[in-house]
């Protein structure tokens, strides 16, 4: 703890000038800072020059973890996870400190996310993902199966070469990207996002403290370049170097990767998404139930201060006009609470949202608003969904006769739909999924993206490997 | 409606009277600034009761009177204000609701105009125009239209000033009607650029030598069908057959446009040996250049004393990256023969570009430079200041003319080597184009990118 505090002080004094972002090249740390980048938040940062050759494993070589049994990889990840406590791990304490400069989330939420990272390194969580994504026996050896013609065939989940373009709205993305990269035994270049420059190297430093030459650590590079920089991407994004580009949305990031796709180069895309809620009339039964429901609904809205794909933005609510207005009022109050992954006070919505909300105040009672556009939470009731993108703790409540009406407003952009009461998920899940929805959850449970379960319509780890066969 | 004149607002009239001087851009300095501050006080007192959004804003921030320019800052509108209506109003043809919305942003009452029979945006704009509300439509980068209300006198001021500014910067005579004028656009329509082009034609075109892009007749039924199809395409409910219909219609119009452009190119070629004026937005200019080239006109053949009037972005048009260069190479005239001005739909009058390549502010526009957040007024040091451009256009009658822009500018308050004393812009760049722009990545998406099917294309 003492050590953590002194390091944090050093970093704080440094932050007045320029933040230093180390690069990791195949498990080795590079701190020869020479390039300076301006930052959107006003604090500039510096990085080493990109070591292109160091990031690319020649095609003639197997990945460092190829021969390592999955059980040993899991042991190493578990040991890493046990050390991922900000209270005792000074790398994490530093990363938290630095992240507060680059990420608009309040400090306590960033700390909570860092504490939550250890979850992804739990043995049962890692084993669950392997079992559901890769199956047993395909990773450590060539698994023998007999095909319908009677031939003996050997199939393997072969390590691949990945560029992983990380999203920075939650450091949890980095944790999942590292565990998946490790479980697939692949080599990964983690492309750091401008809003999370420190998590990856903090986790990799923790690994290095355990074993600086561990094959899993040597499988990772973590570097920054400005997303979309053709001088970098034109060189790197080639099939002779990489099999797949794993990209977390932003829309721009996904579109940008599309330019480099072609035979031999695949994209695994965690698309930018919108999420919503569907709330049955049972919510109005009594004041206690209503309070419970608005608490769950607010939890889904406030997820990462509404900066996540799973954050609820639209809520389709059954009930009489009076009941729905009362729901809106209580929801607005519930938004003003500090929660585990979202704060009472958040960055305000962008001007186009503020302006439209201000204009709609003149249209009562057709439209009605509760709360303020200052980031403390605003509920806007409208006869059909608004066409702007609700963000900055702005929720759009749409009254419906039946939650099934929400299906008409779902489409392939819709990721998660939170439903209350949970039993009524079965009424609408088929219709929602036909419309393009990928995930239906009990209200209040949007936040947990369990590794091993489907994400955006696919099982991620399954696509992190190259499925190869030795036939006959 | 109470006009400025009726209210007897003396300083406001003083400031507005500079419009009638031969070169309004000569004026700057303390005397003007004092007049402007008084005019701002008068205008705010007048508008806060007329324009409800302004009244609401003033009440929210607790400003009763303008003491200093700092008080004006929270009363400036964001450029999003003029597109703050819910798009569902347009989509569902709820034009009475659009009237109510426009009413909150207008100096005069408009709620009672009957729009029960209106079935398209064009129809609504036409109806508003019939009642003296000249709606300026502007489609920004978001794809959502802005609608700004102008009165007939706003339109007159805007037209007179563009004619005057062209004459001033090009060394030609307003009202002389002494040259062929090529107008690469329709001669009829409710759109403001059309009105502007008509004013230029009227003032500068030799009788019988105003050449317009001949109009493709589009019926109200066509417009409605296209509006309906676009709505379906936007919310994702259009069938593939309907998307095909949109494209086929666009192609047919494109080919008719091409024919009309050929006729216009022939006029340009006929008159290439005398000074002409060519007026249009960038994309139509490019089409004209291509058409003239294909008919054998060569680069640099245009008379060197010609005037080129351009404007607008290139959004939505499929143009090569070097389209401006291609246009400039073809016309071949000196840079000074391009009418240079910095303006936007939120302003009645542009800032003219002088021989020293600065953009000069007219006395009836109060120029304000704010911090990047648009919250605080910055003070010049040694007459220079850099920051987010904002302004209050004191000449506007139809609405509140106070707007914060998306531009980062450098202002020089010192007299210019061109001889003018007005404050001038020495650099202009959009904040969005600056290198320290956003490199944040988040998994949160928006519906529209999917619905339009662009994510995979």
Cβ within 8 Å, pair B443-A195: no
**pLDDT, averaged across chain A:** 92
DSSP conformation letters of B308-371: EE--S--TTS---TTHHHHHHHHH---GGGB--EE--TT-SSPEEE-TTS-EEPPTTEEEEEE-
Q: What is residue B452's DSSP assignment?
A: T
pLDDT tens digits, A375-408: 999 999 999 999 889 999 999 999 999 999 999 9
pLDDT tens digits, B253-270: 888 888 999 999 999 999
Cα(B389)–Cα(A52) distance, rounded to whole angstroms?
A: 42
| Closest to B204 measured CA to CA, from B264, B252, B275, B256 | B275
CB atoms near residue B126 (< 10 Å): 15
Comparing CB atoms, the residue among A309, A355, A362 nearest residue B80 is A355
Contact call for residues A440 and A429 (beta carbons, < 8 A): yes
pLDDT at A8: 36
**A173: contact with B, CB 8 A cutoff:** yes
Per the omega criterion (within 30 degrees of 0), is the bond before B354 cis?
Answer: no
Angle, helix A2-15 to helix A90-102, in steps of 10 degrees: 30
Cβ within 8 Å, pair A272-B445: yes
Question: Between residues 286 and 345 of chain A, which touch chain B (CB distance below 8 Å)?
Answer: 306-309, 311
Q: What pTM, to 2 d.p., does this model score?
A: 0.82
Contact call for residues A335 and A393 (beta carbons, < 8 A): yes
Q: By mean pLDDT, which of A168-172, A451-455, A467-471, B306-310 is the weakest? A: A168-172
**B85: contact with A, CB 8 A cutoff:** yes
Cβ within 8 Å, pair B142-A352: yes
Cα(A103)–Cα(A196) distance, rounded to whole angstroms?
A: 7
Cα(A168)–Cα(B139) distance, rounded to whole angstroms?
A: 32
Q: How confident is the model at residue B62 (pLDDT cuts 50, 70, 90)?
A: very high
Q: What are phi and psi of A379, to 5 degrees?
A: -110, 130
B290 burial level (CB within 10 Å; 0-12, 13-18, 19+): middle
Query: What are the chain A neighbours of B455 within 8 Å (beta carbons)?
Result: 251, 254-255, 271
Alpha helices in B120-151 (DSSP H): 121-130
Cα(A197)–Cα(B273) distance, rounded to whole angstroms?
A: 62
Contact call for residues B350 and B309 (beta carbons, < 8 A): no
pLDDT tens digits, B83-104: 899 988 988 889 999 999 999 9
**A363: contact with B, CB 8 A cutoff:** yes
pLDDT tens digits, A330-377: 999 999 999 999 999 999 998 889 989 988 988 999 999 999 999 999
pLDDT at B330: 97
pLDDT at B444: 59
Cα(B35)–Cα(B403) distance, rounded to whole angstroms?
A: 20
Higher pLDDT among residues B137 and B176, named by residue: B176
Cα(A400)–Cα(A278) distance, rounded to whole angstroms?
A: 9
Contact call for residues A167 and A173 (beta carbons, < 8 A): yes
pLDDT at B441: 64
**B86: contact with A, CB 8 A cutoff:** yes
Angle, helix B121-130 to helix B220-235, in steps of 10 degrees: 130
> Both tokens of residue A40?
């959107």
pLDDT tens digits, A240-282: 999 999 999 778 888 899 999 998 899 999 988 899 999 999 9
pLDDT at B234: 73
Q: How confident is the model at residue A119 (pLDDT cuts 50, 70, 90)?
A: very high
What is the predicted ipTM?
0.74
Q: In angstroms, what separates the C-alpha of A415 from chain B's closest C-alpha? A: 10
**A259: contact with B, CB 8 A cutoff:** no
pLDDT at B437: 52
Contact call for residues B184 and B288 (beta carbons, < 8 A): yes
Higher pLDDT among residues A117 and A18, named by residue: A117
Q: In angstroms, what separates the C-alpha of B444 from chain A's closest C-alpha? A: 4
Q: Which residues of A343-360 are buried (b: 16+ CB within 10 A; e: fewer)?
A: beebbbbbbbbbbbbbbb
Q: Say how many residues make up chain B.
A: 457
A98 has a pLDDT exceeding 50: yes
Query: What are the chain B neighbours of A258 within 8 Å (beta carbons)?
Result: 456
Phi-psi map region of A336: left, alpha, beta (phi>0 left; psi -120 to 50 alpha): alpha
pLDDT at B435: 64
* For chain A, percent of residues with pLDDT exceeding 90: 80
DSSP conformation letters of A141-179: S-EEEE-TTS-EEEEEEE--EEEEE---S-HHHHHHHHH
Q: How confident is the model at residue B243 (pLDDT cuts 50, 70, 90)?
A: confident
Question: How many helices and strands (H and E) does chain B possess?
Answer: 15, 14
Dihedral, CA of residue A366, residue A371, residue A373 and residue A379, to nearest 10? -50
| Pair type for strands B277-279 and B307-309 | parallel
pLDDT tens digits, A22-35: 999 999 999 999 99
> Both tokens of residue B285?
């200019």
**pLDDT, averaged across chain B:** 87
| Closest to B185 measured CA to CA, from B26, B17, B364, B312 | B312
**B373: contact with A, CB 8 A cutoff:** no
Helix, strand, or coil here: B299?
Answer: coil
Query: What are the chain A neighbours of B81 within 8 Å (beta carbons)?
Result: 355, 359
pLDDT at B224: 73
Q: By mean pLDDT, which of A255-259, B113-117, B229-233 is the weakest? A: B229-233
Residue given tokens 């009642």 in the structure block? B131
Q: What are the residues facing A165 on neighbouring strands?
A: A191, A247
pLDDT at B312: 66
A80 has a pLDDT exceeding 80: yes
To the nearest 5 percent, what fractions of chain A are helix, strand and coil? 40, 20, 35
Query: What are the chain B neighbours of A436 within 8 Å (beta carbons)?
Result: 450
A14 has a pLDDT exceeding 50: no
pLDDT at B453: 34
Q: What are the residues facing B139 on neighbouring strands?
A: B145
Q: Say how many residues make up chain A.
A: 472
């Amino acid at each position: 703890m003492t050590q953590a505090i002194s390091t944090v002080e050093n970093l704080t004094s440094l932050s007045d000038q320029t933040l230093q972002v180390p690069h990791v090249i195949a498990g080795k740390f590079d701190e020869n800072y020479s390039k300076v980048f301006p930052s959107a938040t006003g604090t500039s940062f510096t990085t080493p020059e990109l070591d292109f050759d160091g990031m690319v494993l020649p095609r003639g070589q197997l990945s460092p973890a190829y021969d390592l049994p999955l059980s040993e990889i899991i042991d190493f990840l578990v040991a890493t996870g046990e050390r991922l406590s900000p209270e005792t791990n000074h790398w994490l304490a530093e990363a938290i400190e630095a992240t507060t400069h680059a990420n608009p989330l309040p400090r306590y939420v960033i700390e909570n996310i860092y504490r939550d990272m250890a979850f992804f390194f739990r043995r049962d969580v890692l084993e669950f993902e392997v079992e559901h994504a890769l199956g047993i026996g395909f990773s450590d050896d060539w698994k023998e199966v007999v095909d319908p013609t009677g031939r003996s065939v050997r199939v393997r989940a072969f390590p691949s070469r990945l560029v992983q373009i990380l999203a920075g709205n939650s450091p949890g993305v980095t944790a999942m990207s590292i565990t998946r990269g490790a479980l697939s035994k692949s080599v990964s270049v983690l492309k750091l996002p401008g809003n999370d420059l420190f998590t990856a190297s903090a986790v990799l430093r923790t690994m290095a403290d355990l074993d600086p030459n561990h094959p899993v650590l040597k499988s990772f590079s973590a570097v920054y370049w400005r997303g979309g920089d053709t001088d970098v991407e034109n060189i790197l994004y080639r099939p002779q170097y990489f099999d797949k580009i794993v990209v977390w949305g932003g829309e721009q990031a996904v579109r940008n990767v599309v330019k480099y796709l072609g035979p031999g180069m695949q994209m695994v895309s965690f698309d930018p998404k919108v999420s919503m809620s569907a709330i049955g009339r049972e919510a109005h039964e009594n004041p206690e139930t209503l309070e419970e429901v608005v608490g769950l609904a607010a939890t889904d809205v406030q997820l990462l201060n509404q900066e996540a794909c799973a954050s609820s933005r639209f809520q389709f609510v059954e009930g009489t006009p009076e009941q729905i207005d009362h729901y809106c009022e209580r929801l607005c109050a519930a938004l003003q609470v500090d929660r585990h992954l979202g704060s009472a006070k958040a960055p305000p919505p962008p001007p186009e949202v503020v302006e439209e909300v201000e204009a709609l105040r003149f249209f009562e009672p057709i439209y009605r608003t509760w709360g303020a556009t200052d980031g403390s939470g605003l509920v806007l009731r409208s006869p059909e969904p608004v066409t702007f993108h609700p963000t900055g703790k702005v929720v759009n409540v749409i009254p419906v006769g039946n939650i099934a009406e929400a299906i008409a407003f779902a489409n392939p952009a819709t990721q998660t739909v939170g439903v209350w009461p949970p039993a009524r998920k079965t009424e609408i899940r088929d219709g929602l999924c036909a419309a393009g929805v990928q995930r239906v959850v009990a209200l209040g449970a949007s936040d947990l993206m369990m590794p091993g379960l489907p994400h955006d319509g696919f099982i991620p780890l399954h696509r992190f490997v190259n499925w190869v066969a030795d036939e006959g | 409606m109470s006009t400025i004149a009726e209210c007897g607002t003396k300083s406001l009239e003083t400031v507005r009277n500079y419009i009638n001087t031969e070169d309004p851009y000569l004026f700057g300095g303390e005397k003007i600034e004092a007049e402007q501050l008084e005019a701002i006080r008068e205008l705010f007192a007048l508008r806060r009761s007329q324009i409800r959004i302004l009244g609401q804003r003033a009440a929210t921030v607790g400003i009763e009177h303008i003491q200093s320019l700092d008080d004006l800052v929270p009363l400036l509108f964001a450029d999003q204000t003029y597109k703050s209506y819910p798009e569902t109003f347009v989509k569902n043809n709820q034009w009475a609701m659009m009237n109510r919305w426009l009413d909150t942003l207008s100096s005069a009452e408009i709620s009672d105009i009957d729009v029960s029979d209106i079935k398209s945006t064009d129809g609504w704009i036409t109806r508003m125009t019939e009642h003296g509300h000249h709606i300026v439509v502007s489609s920004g980068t978001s794809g959502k239209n802005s609608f700004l209300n102008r009165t007939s006198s706003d339109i007159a001021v805007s037209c007179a000033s563009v004619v005057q500014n062209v004459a001033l910067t090009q060394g030609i005579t307003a009202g002389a009607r002494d040259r062929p004028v090529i107008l690469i656009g329709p001669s009829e329509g409710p759109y403001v650029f059309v009105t502007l082009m008509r004013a230029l034609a009227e003032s500068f075109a030799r009788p019988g030598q105003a050449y317009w892009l001949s109009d493709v007749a589009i019926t109200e039924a066509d417009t409605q069908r296209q509006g309906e199809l676009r709505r379906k395409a936007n919310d994702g409910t259009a069938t593939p057959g309907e998307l095909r219909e949109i494209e086929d219609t666009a192609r047919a119009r494109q080919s008719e446009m091409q024919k009309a452009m050929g006729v216009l190119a022939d006029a340009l070629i006929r008159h290439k040996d005398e000074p002409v004026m060519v007026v249009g937005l960038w994309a139509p200019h490019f089409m004209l250049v291509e058409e003239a080239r294909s008919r054998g006109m060569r680069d640099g053949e245009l008379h060197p004393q010609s005037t080129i009037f351009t404007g607008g972005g290139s959004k939505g048009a499929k143009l090569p990256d070097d389209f401006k260069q291609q246009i400039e190479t073809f016309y071949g005239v000196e840079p000074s023969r391009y009418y240079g001005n910095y303006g936007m739909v939120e302003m009645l009058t542009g800032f003219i570009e002088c021989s020293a390549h600065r953009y000069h502010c007219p006395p009836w526009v109060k120029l304000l430079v704010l911090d990047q957040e648009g919250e605080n007024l910055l003070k010049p040091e040694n007459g220079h200041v850099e920051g987010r451009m904002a302004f209050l256009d004191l000449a506007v009658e139809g609405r509140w003319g106070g707007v914060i822009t998306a531009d980062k500018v450098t202002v020089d308050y010192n007299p210019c080597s061109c001889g003018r004393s007005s404050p001038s812009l020495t650099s202009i760049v959009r904040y969005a184009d600056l290198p320290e722009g956003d490199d944040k990545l988040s998994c949160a998406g928006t519906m529209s990118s999917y619905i339009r099917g662009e994510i995979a294309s």
